Amino acid sequence: MTARTPAPTLPKAQAIAAEVRRRILDREWRQGDRIPDEADLAVEFGAARATVNKALQVLADEGLLDRRRRAGTRVAVNPVRKATLTIPIVRERIEGAGMAYSHRIIALRRSPLAEAAARRMGVGAGAPMIHVRAVHYGDASPFQYEDRWINPGALPGMDRVDFRHVNANEWLVRNAPYARAEVSFSAANADARDARMLQTRPGQALLIVNRTTWNEGHPITTVRIACRPNHEISTSN
């Protein structure tokens, strides 16, 4: 399954969209704030109003902006949830099922990007990335095991986030809106690490989810998720 948002075709529109996105991500324009009118932005960026309109429409399609006739354009409230593909917050899924949530970091380090992850992200292997392995638990039982690579240059300030003490899934969902996502589902037999992390036997059939997200031209993260045995995917997520 692939969710795609068309990117602006004009370099000027791309630059405007990137700057407006930066202001939203850096909280210069906060959720619910009305942003300047197209005419004012056209003057600021030295661009035609039609070019500004195109850039803002791309951000509206991403879910970052809420555009209404006669009401102006505002930064969307809870923008990530308006994207074409909604990435779940694992804690909310577990608590919604009536279980107590917990989370454990297995390993975290700066590492050269592995080949399989590099293919998913569309970049060269060996690029410096943040590598996080973690387990999410429901009622102290493993719910899913994540092997995640994060591009620290994808968002301003992300290289300063301490993922030892921050849940990477939840932080990225809330702070890293994406323009494009690719998700694949497959079945695999648990290898020794999957079995150890999920407290099951090697060879146990598991659902594996690979998910990669990008913003404007940069990969944000790619994650391999090994789900507990008998895990179910709900279309309501």
- Residues 103 and 51 occupy one common structural domain: no
Number of domains in the chain: 2
**Where does a domain end: 39, 60, 82?**
82
Is residue 236 included in any domain, yes or no? Answer: no
- Residues 20 and 118 occupy one common structural domain: no
**What is the chain's pLDDT, residue by residue, as a tens digit (237 residues)?**
344 444 434 578 888 988 898 888 778 898 899 999 999 999 999 999 999 999 998 888 878 899 887 778 999 886 554 445 678 899 999 999 999 999 999 999 999 999 999 999 988 999 999 999 999 999 999 999 999 999 999 988 888 999 999 999 999 998 888 878 889 999 999 999 999 999 999 999 999 999 999 987 689 999 999 999 976 655 443
**How many Å apart are CA 114 and CA 68, to the nearest integer?**
44
- Residues 71 and 120 occupy one common structural domain: no
Counting Cβ atoms within 10 Å, is residue 148 exposed (0-12), middle (13-18) or buried (19+)? buried
**Where does a domain end: 63, 82, 101?**
82
- Residues 96 and 154 occupy one common structural domain: yes
Which pair of tokens denotes residue 30? 């906060």
User: What's the distance, CA 206 to chain centroid?
Assistant: 23
Is residue 235 included in any domain, yes or no? Answer: no
Residue 108 sits in a domain of what CATH number?
A: 3.40.1410.10
User: What's the distance, CA 73 to chain centroid?
Assistant: 24
